[in-house]
Amino acid sequence: MNPFTVAQITDCHLQNDPRQDYRGRDVEQQLDCVVDDLLAQTPAAELILWTGDLVHHGAQKGYHRLNERLAALPLPSYWIPGNHDDADLMRQLGGKLNQRTLVKQGWAIILLDSTSEPDGQGGGCLASLELSFLEQQLQLYKDYHCLIGLHHNPLPVDSEWQDSIMLANAGAFWRILASHQQVKGVIHGHVHQPGDHLYQGVRVLMTPASSVQFKARCRQMTLEDSPVLELPGYRLLQLYPDGRITTSVKRVAC
């Protein structure tokens, strides 16, 4: 049984001015390196999921530049906002990038907007309409294996400052998933570090940023300083017809 391969790129933090760095990093160049590495992989990814914090402070020129970049790729992309994005602007400019449910080879990938009720600190929430959308899609695709994508982490990550800005209504999210056994995995960004956990029988995968990485298990925000762990990264997922997921994080030296 051959899987199909999905890539996840997250937390790009592109600036309105491409010459401007983010926390000392040339995030434009790093994203170029990540995409080049992804396109060189075998087997090739069939689509890319962009899971939020794509353009820092939601700058319009940044979205236009990213949109043009994605349109030139040889595979389709789909995006969702993070807390640093302008979700309304993404919906206006995104076109096909805004598609929320993707169905292929017995899998349904459901993408969620977790930027409701911002707290001004980076936290997020799934609006009631978003929870209803999730329930409706899981009912519609009850005979498919399901992968859920969102920006905010729905589980604590044992970093005090990050756990304070996780998905605020994670309990409501997990109550919906508990009644839909076809959900095999959840992917998210936001934490700028890798992780692979099992919760309620669901794989929860967090993915490093294409920009900067945060050190794990810290009381306050601390940039990663390990020569390996500070490298930009992305995730590849192989989704099998029998519901299995194999996955790996790729690090890229620029």
Tell me, what amino acid is at 134?
A: L
CATH code: domain of residue 146: 3.60.21.10
- pLDDT, tens digit (0-9, with 9 covering 90-100), for 3-34: 999 999 999 999 999 989 899 899 999 999 99
Strand 233-239 and strand 4-9: pairing?
antiparallel
pLDDT tens, position by position, 86-135: 999 999 999 999 999 999 999 999 999 999 988 888 999 999 999 999 99
d(CA 163, CA 144): 32
Domain enclosing residue 153, as ranges: 4-251
Compute the distance between CA of residue 230 and CA of residue 50 in angstroms, rounded to an integer.
Answer: 20
Mean per-residue pLDDT over the chain, rounded: 96
The token pair at 195 is 């992780």
Rounded to two decimals, the pTM is 0.97
Q: How many domains does the chain have?
A: 1
Alpha-carbon dihedral angle through residues 2, 42, 70, 203, given to the nearest 10 degrees: 50
Per residue in 223-247, pLDDT (tens digit) is 999 999 999 999 999 999 999 999 9
Helices (H), 58-212: 60-71, 87-94, 128-140, 160-163, 170-178
Burial 69-83 (b: 16+ CB within 10 A, else e): ebeeeeeebbbbbbb
Binned at pLDDT 50, 70 and 90, residue 253 comes out as: very high
Q: Residues 231, 251: contact at Cβ < 8 Å? A: yes
